[in-house]
Structure 1
Protein backbone atom coordinates (compact mmCIF):
# COMPACT_ATOMS: atom_id res chain seq x y z
CA UNK A 1 0.00 0.00 0.00
CA UNK A 2 1.29 3.46 -0.90
CA UNK A 3 2.18 5.84 1.95
CA UNK A 4 -0.33 8.37 0.59
CA UNK A 5 -3.13 5.77 0.73
CA UNK A 6 -2.12 4.81 4.26
CA UNK A 7 -2.14 8.47 5.29
CA UNK A 8 -5.64 8.93 3.83
CA UNK A 9 -6.90 5.81 5.62
CA UNK A 10 -5.36 7.05 8.88
CA UNK A 11 -6.86 10.52 8.66
CA UNK A 12 -10.33 9.35 7.61
CA UNK A 13 -10.57 6.71 10.35
CA UNK A 14 -9.04 8.96 13.02
CA UNK A 15 -11.33 11.84 12.06
CA UNK A 16 -14.35 9.54 12.38
CA UNK A 17 -13.19 8.57 15.88
CA UNK A 18 -12.64 12.26 16.69
CA UNK A 19 -16.17 13.12 15.56
CA UNK A 20 -17.93 10.13 17.21
CA UNK A 21 -15.96 10.11 20.46
CA UNK A 22 -14.81 13.71 20.89
CA UNK A 23 -17.04 16.24 19.19
CA UNK A 24 -20.40 14.49 19.49
CA UNK A 25 -20.10 13.68 23.22
CA UNK A 26 -18.77 17.16 23.98
CA UNK A 27 -21.86 18.76 22.47
CA UNK A 28 -24.48 16.26 23.63
CA UNK A 29 -23.30 14.98 27.03
CA UNK A 30 -25.42 17.38 29.06
CA UNK A 31 -28.67 16.69 27.24
CA UNK A 32 -31.48 14.91 29.04
CA UNK A 33 -31.25 12.01 26.59
CA UNK A 34 -27.53 11.47 27.29
CA UNK A 35 -28.03 11.68 31.04
CA UNK A 36 -30.91 9.21 30.86
CA UNK A 37 -28.73 6.86 28.78
CA UNK A 38 -26.09 6.82 31.52
CA UNK A 39 -28.74 6.30 34.22
CA UNK A 40 -30.39 3.53 32.17
CA UNK A 41 -27.12 1.59 32.19
CA UNK A 42 -26.90 1.94 35.97
CA UNK A 43 -24.06 4.45 36.12
CA UNK A 44 -24.13 7.63 38.20
CA UNK A 45 -24.36 10.94 36.34
CA UNK A 46 -20.81 11.99 37.27
CA UNK A 47 -19.50 8.91 35.44
CA UNK A 48 -20.88 10.26 32.17
CA UNK A 49 -19.20 13.60 32.74
CA UNK A 50 -15.84 11.98 33.49
CA UNK A 51 -16.20 9.71 30.48
CA UNK A 52 -16.77 12.68 28.17
CA UNK A 53 -13.73 14.52 29.54
CA UNK A 54 -11.51 11.51 28.91
CA UNK A 55 -13.03 10.91 25.46
CA UNK A 56 -12.33 14.49 24.40
CA UNK A 57 -8.76 14.34 25.75
CA UNK A 58 -8.22 10.96 24.07
CA UNK A 59 -9.45 12.12 20.69
CA UNK A 60 -7.28 15.23 20.90
CA UNK A 61 -4.29 12.98 21.64
CA UNK A 62 -5.06 10.92 18.54
CA UNK A 63 -5.69 13.79 16.15
CA UNK A 64 -2.88 16.20 17.11
CA UNK A 65 0.29 15.08 15.29
CA UNK A 66 2.68 16.58 17.89
CA UNK A 67 1.39 14.38 20.71
CA UNK A 68 4.06 11.80 21.66
CA UNK A 69 3.43 8.25 20.46
CA UNK A 70 3.36 6.87 24.01
CA UNK A 71 0.39 9.13 24.84
CA UNK A 72 -1.33 8.06 21.61
CA UNK A 73 -0.86 4.40 22.61
CA UNK A 74 -2.59 5.09 25.94
CA UNK A 75 -5.43 6.88 24.16
CA UNK A 76 -5.90 3.95 21.76
CA UNK A 77 -5.90 1.52 24.71
CA UNK A 78 -8.42 3.64 26.61
CA UNK A 79 -10.78 3.66 23.64
CA UNK A 80 -10.49 -0.11 23.22
CA UNK A 81 -11.58 -0.55 26.86
CA UNK A 82 -14.32 2.05 26.41
CA UNK A 83 -15.83 0.30 23.39
CA UNK A 84 -15.61 -3.17 24.90
CA UNK A 85 -17.20 -2.01 28.15
CA UNK A 86 -19.87 -0.03 26.27
CA UNK A 87 -20.79 -3.17 24.36
CA UNK A 88 -20.86 -5.19 27.59
CA UNK A 89 -22.95 -2.61 29.44
CA UNK A 90 -25.56 -2.40 26.71
CA UNK A 91 -25.62 -6.18 26.32
CA UNK A 92 -26.06 -6.73 30.07
CA UNK A 93 -28.89 -4.20 30.37
CA UNK A 94 -30.73 -4.46 27.04
CA UNK A 95 -29.55 -7.72 25.52
CA UNK A 96 -27.58 -8.10 22.33
CA UNK A 97 -28.98 -5.39 20.08
CA UNK A 98 -27.90 -2.49 17.89
CA UNK A 99 -26.86 -0.56 21.00
CA UNK A 100 -24.42 -3.35 21.87
CA UNK A 101 -23.14 -3.74 18.31
CA UNK A 102 -22.45 -0.06 17.55
CA UNK A 103 -19.42 0.20 19.92
CA UNK A 104 -17.91 -2.80 18.13
CA UNK A 105 -18.30 -1.03 14.78
CA UNK A 106 -16.55 2.04 16.15
CA UNK A 107 -13.90 -0.27 17.63
CA UNK A 108 -13.25 -1.63 14.12
CA UNK A 109 -12.74 1.94 12.87
CA UNK A 110 -10.37 2.57 15.79
CA UNK A 111 -8.35 -0.54 14.89
CA UNK A 112 -8.02 0.71 11.30
CA UNK A 113 -6.73 4.02 12.68
CA UNK A 114 -4.31 2.18 14.99
CA UNK A 115 -2.94 -0.09 12.26
CA UNK A 116 -2.50 2.77 9.79
CA UNK A 117 -0.85 4.92 12.48
CA UNK A 118 1.77 2.22 13.06
CA UNK A 119 2.27 1.72 9.36
CA UNK A 120 2.92 5.45 8.93
CA UNK A 121 5.34 5.41 11.88
CA UNK A 122 7.15 2.38 10.48
CA UNK A 123 6.58 0.45 13.69
CA UNK A 124 5.19 -3.03 14.19
CA UNK A 125 2.01 -3.73 16.08
CA UNK A 126 2.87 -5.92 19.06
Structure 2
Protein backbone atom coordinates (compact mmCIF):
# COMPACT_ATOMS: atom_id res chain seq x y z
CA UNK A 1 0.00 0.00 0.00
CA UNK A 2 2.80 2.42 0.89
CA UNK A 3 4.59 1.99 -2.46
CA UNK A 4 1.31 2.68 -4.28
CA UNK A 5 0.94 5.95 -2.41
CA UNK A 6 4.55 6.91 -3.14
CA UNK A 7 4.09 6.33 -6.88
CA UNK A 8 0.78 8.22 -6.82
CA UNK A 9 2.19 11.22 -4.97
CA UNK A 10 5.38 11.44 -7.03
CA UNK A 11 3.53 11.36 -10.36
CA UNK A 12 0.77 13.65 -9.13
CA UNK A 13 3.31 16.11 -7.71
CA UNK A 14 5.26 16.26 -10.96
CA UNK A 15 2.06 16.91 -12.91
CA UNK A 16 0.87 19.43 -10.35
CA UNK A 17 4.13 21.36 -10.25
CA UNK A 18 4.34 21.49 -14.03
CA UNK A 19 0.74 22.69 -14.34
CA UNK A 20 1.12 25.35 -11.64
CA UNK A 21 4.38 26.53 -13.23
CA UNK A 22 2.77 26.82 -16.66
CA UNK A 23 -0.31 28.56 -15.23
CA UNK A 24 1.93 31.01 -13.38
CA UNK A 25 3.73 31.73 -16.66
CA UNK A 26 0.41 32.30 -18.43
CA UNK A 27 -0.39 35.06 -15.92
CA UNK A 28 3.06 36.65 -15.65
CA UNK A 29 5.11 36.02 -18.79
CA UNK A 30 4.62 37.85 -22.06
CA UNK A 31 6.84 35.22 -23.70
CA UNK A 32 4.44 32.45 -22.63
CA UNK A 33 1.47 34.32 -24.09
CA UNK A 34 3.41 35.01 -27.30
CA UNK A 35 4.41 31.34 -27.47
CA UNK A 36 0.79 30.28 -27.12
CA UNK A 37 -0.19 32.83 -29.79
CA UNK A 38 2.37 31.22 -32.11
CA UNK A 39 0.51 27.95 -31.56
CA UNK A 40 -2.75 29.68 -32.50
CA UNK A 41 -4.26 30.45 -29.09
CA UNK A 42 -5.81 33.81 -28.20
CA UNK A 43 -4.61 35.65 -25.05
CA UNK A 44 -8.00 35.33 -23.33
CA UNK A 45 -7.84 31.55 -23.76
CA UNK A 46 -4.36 31.42 -22.23
CA UNK A 47 -5.62 33.11 -19.04
CA UNK A 48 -8.64 30.82 -18.96
CA UNK A 49 -6.43 27.77 -19.39
CA UNK A 50 -4.17 28.95 -16.56
CA UNK A 51 -7.15 29.36 -14.24
CA UNK A 52 -8.46 25.87 -14.98
CA UNK A 53 -5.00 24.33 -14.61
CA UNK A 54 -4.85 25.71 -11.07
CA UNK A 55 -8.32 24.34 -10.28
CA UNK A 56 -7.31 20.96 -11.70
CA UNK A 57 -4.17 20.80 -9.58
CA UNK A 58 -6.18 21.64 -6.47
CA UNK A 59 -8.64 18.87 -7.33
CA UNK A 60 -5.82 16.34 -7.66
CA UNK A 61 -3.76 17.23 -4.59
CA UNK A 62 -6.46 17.90 -1.98
CA UNK A 63 -7.32 14.49 -0.50
CA UNK A 64 -10.86 15.53 0.52
CA UNK A 65 -11.92 16.21 -3.08
CA UNK A 66 -14.36 13.51 -4.24
CA UNK A 67 -13.02 10.94 -6.71
CA UNK A 68 -15.50 12.02 -9.41
CA UNK A 69 -14.09 15.55 -9.38
CA UNK A 70 -10.56 14.15 -9.56
CA UNK A 71 -11.58 12.08 -12.59
CA UNK A 72 -12.79 15.25 -14.34
CA UNK A 73 -9.44 16.89 -13.59
CA UNK A 74 -7.62 13.89 -15.07
CA UNK A 75 -9.81 14.05 -18.17
CA UNK A 76 -9.21 17.79 -18.55
CA UNK A 77 -5.46 17.43 -18.18
CA UNK A 78 -5.49 14.55 -20.65
CA UNK A 79 -7.22 16.78 -23.19
CA UNK A 80 -4.71 19.56 -22.48
CA UNK A 81 -1.73 17.24 -23.06
CA UNK A 82 -3.12 15.74 -26.26
CA UNK A 83 -4.02 19.21 -27.56
CA UNK A 84 -0.57 20.53 -26.67
CA UNK A 85 1.05 17.65 -28.53
CA UNK A 86 -0.96 18.34 -31.69
CA UNK A 87 -0.44 22.11 -31.44
CA UNK A 88 3.35 21.64 -31.26
CA UNK A 89 3.33 19.12 -34.12
CA UNK A 90 1.23 21.42 -36.31
CA UNK A 91 3.49 24.38 -35.49
CA UNK A 92 6.48 22.39 -36.73
CA UNK A 93 8.22 22.34 -33.36
CA UNK A 94 11.12 19.93 -32.83
CA UNK A 95 10.39 16.43 -31.55
CA UNK A 96 11.91 17.28 -28.16
CA UNK A 97 9.25 19.97 -27.63
CA UNK A 98 6.39 18.02 -29.21
CA UNK A 99 7.04 14.92 -27.15
CA UNK A 100 6.94 16.62 -23.73
CA UNK A 101 3.12 16.65 -23.52
CA UNK A 102 3.09 12.91 -24.26
CA UNK A 103 5.57 12.28 -21.44
CA UNK A 104 3.33 14.24 -19.06
CA UNK A 105 0.30 12.34 -20.39
CA UNK A 106 2.00 9.07 -19.43
CA UNK A 107 2.70 10.44 -15.93
CA UNK A 108 -0.93 11.52 -15.69
CA UNK A 109 -2.12 8.04 -16.65
CA UNK A 110 0.19 6.47 -14.05
CA UNK A 111 -1.13 8.89 -11.42
CA UNK A 112 -4.71 7.96 -12.28
CA UNK A 113 -3.99 4.22 -12.22
CA UNK A 114 -2.36 4.47 -8.80
CA UNK A 115 -5.15 6.66 -7.43
CA UNK A 116 -7.58 3.91 -8.38
CA UNK A 117 -5.31 1.23 -6.83
CA UNK A 118 -5.21 3.21 -3.58
CA UNK A 119 -8.99 3.68 -3.52
CA UNK A 120 -9.68 -0.02 -4.24
CA UNK A 121 -7.32 -1.26 -1.54
CA UNK A 122 -8.97 0.86 1.20
> Normalised by the shorter chain, which TM-score bucket?
over 0.9
The 3-state SS of whatever aligns with 1:122 is helix
- In structure 2, what is the equivalent of residue 21 of structure 1? 19
- In structure 1, what is the equivalent of residue 119 of structure 2? 121
Alignment of 1:24-103 (within 5 A): 24-29=21-26, 30-95=28-93, 97-103=95-101
Query: TM-score w.r.t. structure 1 length?
Result: 0.91
After the TM superposition, list the runs of 4 or more consecutive aligned residues in structure 1 that deviate by more than 2 angstroms: none
- Is contact 2:23-2:49 (8 Å) kept? no
What is the aligned-residue RMSD (CA, Å)? 1.3
- Is contact 2:24-2:50 (8 Å) kept? no
The 3-state SS of whatever aligns with 2:12 is helix
Query: TM-score w.r.t. structure 2 length?
Result: 0.93
Give the count of matched residue pairs.
120
The 3-state SS of whatever aligns with 2:99 is helix
- In structure 1, what is the equivalent of residue 6 of structure 2? 8
Unaligned runs of 5+ in 2: none
- In structure 2, what is the equivalent of residue 110 of structure 1? 108
- Larger mean Cα displacement after TM superposition, 83-92 or 27-36: 27-36
Unaligned runs of 5+ in 1: none
Give a deviation string over 1:35-89, Cα, whole Å, max 9, x none.
Answer: 1111100111111101110111001100000001110000000011110010001
